Amino acid sequence: MIYQRSSALFSAAQKVIPGGVNSPVRAFKAVGGDPIFVKEAKGAYLYDEDGNRLIDYINSWGPMILGHAYPPVVNAVIEKAKKGTSFGMPTQIETKIAELAVSMVPNIDKIRFVNSGTEACMSAVRLARGYTKKDKIIKFAGCYHGHSDSFLIQAGSGAVTFGSPNSPGVTQGTAKDTLLARYNDIEQVERIINLNKGKIACIIVEPVAGNMGCIPPAKGFLEGLRSLCDTHNILLIFDEVMTGFRLAKGGVQELLGVNADIVTFGKVIGGGLPVGAFAARKEIMTYLAPEGPVYQAGTLSGNPLAMAAGLAMLTELNKNEKVFKSLAQKTEYLHKGIAEALHENGVIHTINRIGSMISVHFDKDPVIDFDSAAKGNNDTFKKFFHGMLEHGIYIAPSAFESWFITDALTYDDLDETIAAVHKVAKTL
């Protein structure tokens, strides 16, 4: 495939945008080469500036669960835009999407909308600190909760891809309040809590991790966190920015039957527009301004276009719950096909999958935490990435990312992908 025009556009972008991109993972730094500039997308396909068609396994890093340019979402945005794009005043559509979200997700009474997953997680932690009147938080190595200061301590995703899991610019003062634990290691969490008795406001966790590749929680891990939080008066925050409205209508709380105290959302909830949200039971949410003392605000929060896209998306998912089963079946089919192709060609690998999240790790051992994820062979990943791209298959340009399956994929698309893996596997 030819990517001449993309390369030229990237050169122009680099002159005026740091690294040529507005979010680091978009650059192909971890895999080498120039990023691809997309022109438009429809369903499961991206069409780039050079006229190539690519099957998309990133889907805007999660939001496009029903495919690109999904008509009900696009139409809702167009109709809304004709009536004004921002007011900074309350609108009815905010209540409508809030009512729908609260009805779909277990264990929440109220939800506040923001503009990104970062804002959602940052605000959730502030709320937890205000509510519990404690300062420290526990996060897990390799989990990513956005780029707010408290989270850039052993962060996953782009932060680790670019070798800066601890970013310069985060002060020692902030870093000392973030305590780090190993994902899936409940004993270590308990030890940390015992060493910091009475000081921990919350534990924030990706209940299914997606930022060190996909890593489902070990049996008993989430239940263990729940019980430790109950015992020690700590709030449990599920960061469902990736998993919310993706793994089930009610996210991981529903899928795995463990309740969180605060849940954060992003990606799917905005239908492809900039939306994040955080939600909890009444007694916690009333702690938030203007009802309560914990401050949080936003000029464009609850923006009408964003709310229209989100409402259209959630409405579709709510009325067609079969979509979650269909997504899981497609992902399982893909898993089997990829595993067979790699196995036949003697490529050492481990595949993690849950629902419509999947990742291929080039290592023989189980991938259960950040250390095991980091052990994967990055040279093999690079070759795999570029090989797939040559065959028109677009996966995330980093081994530390999950693939996001969209229901717009047909079984023919999946077969085309598996056929590409067969060819690429021979070169690894």
Interface with ligand PMP includes 244 (CB under 6 A)? no
Interface with ligand PMP includes 239 (CB under 6 A)? yes
Interface with ligand PMP includes 402 (CB under 6 A)? no
**What minimum distance in Å lies between the beta carbon of 66 and ligand PMP?**
19
47, 38 Cβ separation under 8 angstroms:
yes
- # binding residues, ligand PMP (CB under 6 A): 17
Q: Active-site residue 131, yes or no?
A: no
Q: Distance between CA 381 and CA 398 in Å, rounded?
A: 8
DSSP reduced 3-state for 181: strand
Identify which of 260, 249, 201 has the alpha carbon closest to the alpha carbon of residue 225. 260
Q: Active-site residue 144, yes or no?
A: yes
* DSSP for 12-55, written as a single string: HHHHHSGGGSSSGGGS-TTT-SPPPPEEEEEBTEEEETTS-EEE
Structure tokens at 227: 């019980």
**What minimum distance in Å lies between the beta carbon of 218 and ligand PMP?**
18
**Catalytic residue (one of 131, 144, 183, 394):** 144
| Residue 59 Cα distances to 32, 33, 116, 171, 193, angstroms | 21, 21, 16, 34, 38
Interface with ligand PMP includes 242 (CB under 6 A)? yes
**Contact track, ligand PMP, 58-97, x by CB under 6 A:** ---x------------------------------------
Q: Active-site residue 239, yes or no?
A: yes
Interface with ligand PMP includes 369 (CB under 6 A)? no
Q: Which helix (H) or strand (E) holds 370?
A: helix 370-374
Q: Residues 91, 125, 274, CA angle at the centre, nearest 5°?
A: 40
Q: Distance between CA 223 and CA 153 in Å, rounded?
A: 25
**Catalytic residue (one of 239, 261, 407, 413):** 239
Interface with ligand PMP includes 122 (CB under 6 A)? no
Identify which of 229, 192, 199, 202 has the alpha carbon closest to the alpha carbon of residue 128. 202
Interface with ligand PMP includes 405 (CB under 6 A)? no
Q: Which segment (85-93, 110-118, 169-177, 355-363) binds ligand PMP by CB under 6 A? A: 110-118
**What minimum distance in Å lies between the beta carbon of 210 and ligand PMP?**
6
115: left (phi over 0), alpha (psi -120 to 50) or beta: alpha
Task: Indicate the burial class of 341 (C-beta count within 10 angstroms; 0-12, 13-18, 19 or more).
Answer: buried
**Contact track, ligand PMP, 207-236, x by CB under 6 A:** ---xx-------------------------
Q: Which segment (47-55, 77-85, 114-122, 303-311) binds ligand PMP by CB under 6 A? A: 114-122
- Interface residues with ligand PMP (CB under 6 A)? 61, 116-118, 121, 144-146, 157, 206, 210-211, 239, 241-242, 266, 276
Q: Hey, which residues are catalytic here?
A: 144, 239, 267
